[in-house]
Amino acid sequence: MQPIELPLATADRVETLQALLDVRSTLPFTGYELSPWPGGRTEGLRRLTAFDVSAYARTRNLVGDASGVSLLGPYIRHGLITLSECRTVAMRKSGGNPPVKFLQELTWREYYQRVYAQLGDAIMHTNLESPKVELGNRPLPDDIRFGTTGLACMDENINELRETGYMYNHARMWVASYIIHHRKVAWQHGAQMFLQHLLDGDPASNSLGWQWIASTYSHKPYLFDQGNVQRFSDHCSRCSAARNGSCPFREYIDIPPVREYSKPLPMAQKSQSVAIVDDDERVPDLLWVHGDHIDIPANAVLTAYPNIPAVFILDTTLAASRKISLKRFGFLYESVSEAFQRHAGGGRIFIGDPVDVLSSLLDCKHIATTDTPAGRFHEIRNGVEGNGITVTCHTPPSFVPDSGPVPNRFMKWWKMVEDDVLTLQPRLLS
Ligand SMILES: Cc1cc2nc3c(=O)[nH]c(=O)nc-3n(C[C@H](O)[C@H](O)[C@H](O)COP(=O)(O)OP(=O)(O)OC[C@H]3O[C@@H](n4cnc5c(N)ncnc54)[C@H](O)[C@@H]3O)c2cc1C
């Protein structure tokens, strides 16, 4: 496929959707709508300002409008706002008393990113440990895919995911547990469905979230019952299965344990190594922006080289393998456009093969970009370098100082970093 260039999106969402629909027939997208969640750093900052951190610990497990979660997931995942910015604002709002639960959840994200950096793309398809209960290997059935199981706690959350690109954390846990433990579907198929639709769809947080539910990255499987759904949502009030006594969650499901565990994957197994050049004095002639760090300050090269032109390429190979929804691409398109409109060097957006666009379409000899653990990123970088172009990788800003390889359980790592995460930073609070 020949690369296609898109004009930068404006604030007019009708025009933005039209620009995507105009090229949709040639592209591997699913769906025809934008998400009601607009992309862009401005929206991320607006949400961060509006977020009531004081209610978070008490209400974060609720599913639905009463939940006090931040709704920042997609803005953090795509580098529109950073974890450090979230921490600073949350600390300031709590008058300097660390809002521990919220900061711990931010740290989960950092932890999963570090596990990904250590183990690479294996986390997306390989069990990191042997399961502690018997797992199935079925494909994903259509009633789950389209939210027609007849169970309100499944269907309402799956339909919200399909319509908006968001699902509450507690609902992700219920849906994943149902798919894996009740329906005996391989966790990888469920994870793929989430990656297709979630605006915050992330190889690390998603795959490791699924492995945690499955018990291939935890001590036990995550299971729930109807009482749990009733306590944290009002789904059961609209559910015929709950009313007529056919709810499959009336009691905890009984799954045979597996007694023989094989050795877990070694945690220090690094998939890719990359030379990080943070103090390179040669000025690049092109900045390659990808979906992990779209805007300043997460994007270290947009920060370092405000006058150098930038490019973003929606990778058709990746989009096809993940069957990415138009909602997800629309979110990226709006977010990158906003970043490029602010970038003095300007920016262009393409859809196509990144190696082709970077090597042949744009006249450049030295590209600067930001490092990420994604295997596809390294494939593209190697392809571009193979065509005689230098690629330098800069480190994105870090949430906590590097403390070497992470252990295989979050709580062990939390003990190591909690002081850094919770330390008051008077300079930032003023
Ligand atoms: C099966 C499953 C799949 C998931 N897939 C993803 C995914 O693809 N991308 C993703 O960002 N998160 C994923 N999560 C984690 C979590 O559900 C989302 O980060 C959260 O729901 C985003 O909504 P929020 O911003 O309102 O969260 P809040 O509760 O307000 O949390 C604030 C931020 O902390 C981070 N965070 C919170 N909980 C977690 C967690 N358990 N793991 C990692 N980071 C966390 C996120 O960056 C989140 O935006 C998954 C969880 C499960 C159980």
Dump pLDDT digits (tens) for 375-411.
Answer: 999 999 999 999 999 999 999 988 998 878 999 999 9
Torsion angles phi and psi, residue 73, rounded to 5: -45, -55
User: If DSSP codes are grouped into helix, strand and coil, which group holds residue 271?
Assistant: coil
The residue contributing the CA closest to ligand 1 atom 2 is: 209
Determine the distance separating the centroid of ligand 1 and the alpha carbon of 205, expressed in angstroms: 7
Statement to judge: residues 15 and 80 lie in one domain: no
pLDDT of residue 428: 52
Q: Is 35 in the pocket of ligand 1 (CB under 6 A)?
A: no
pTM for this entry: 0.96
In a domain, 252, yes or no: no
Average pLDDT, the chain: 93
Cβ–ligand 1 contact at 201 (below 6 Å): yes
List pLDDT tens digits, range 153-162.
999 999 999 9
pLDDT given for residue 268 in this prediction: 66
C-alpha–C-alpha distance, residues 254 and 134, integer Å: 11
Which atom in ligand 1 lies closest to the alpha carbon of residue 190? 1
Q: Are residues 107 and 128 in the same domain?
A: no
Q: How does pLDDT run across 178-191, given as a tens digit for each residue?
A: 999 999 999 999 99
Residue of 78, 205, 208 to mutate, ligand 1, most atoms within 8 A of C-beta = 205
Q: Is the pLDDT of residue 424 over 80?
A: no
The pLDDT of residue 270: 57
Q: Closest Cα to atom 40, ligand 1: which residue?
A: 108
Q: In terms of Cα–Cα distance, which of 81, 92, 87 is closest to 104? A: 87
Give the CA distances from residue 61 to residues 70, 229, 234, 259, 337, in Å, rounded to whole numbers and listed in that order: 12, 10, 13, 32, 34
pLDDT value at 15 more than 80: yes
How far, in Å, CA of 89 to CA of 404, rounded?
Answer: 28
Residues 55, 150, single domain; the answer is no
Distance between CA atoms of residues 206 and 194, nearest Å: 8
Say if 235 falls within a structural domain.
yes
Residue from 105, 213, 217 whose mutation best tests the ligand 1 pocket (most atoms within 8 A of CB): 105
State the CATH number of the domain containing residue 77.
1.25.40.80
The shares of helix, strand and coil residues in the chain, as percent rounded to the nearest 5, are 45, 10, 45
pLDDT tens-digit map of 213-224: 999 999 999 999
112 lines ligand 1 (CB under 6 A): yes
Residue 155: CB within 6 Å of ligand 1?
A: no
The confidence score (pLDDT) of residue 280 equals 62
What is the reported pLDDT for 68?
A: 95
At residue 350, what are phi and psi to the nearest 5 degrees?
-125, 160
- Expressed as residue numbers, the domain containing 48 is 34-119+402-429
Query: Is residue 72 over pLDDT 60?
Result: yes
Same domain, 331 and 360: yes
Q: Report the interhelical angle of 13-24 vs 326-342 (nearest 10°).
A: 120
Looking up residue 325, the CATH number of its domain turns out to be 3.40.50.620
Ligand 1 midpoint to CA 8 (Å): 29
- Distance CA(16)–CA(338), nearest Å, equals 12
Per DSSP, the residues of 280-314 read --SPPSEEEE-TTS-STTT-HHHHH-TTS-EEEEE
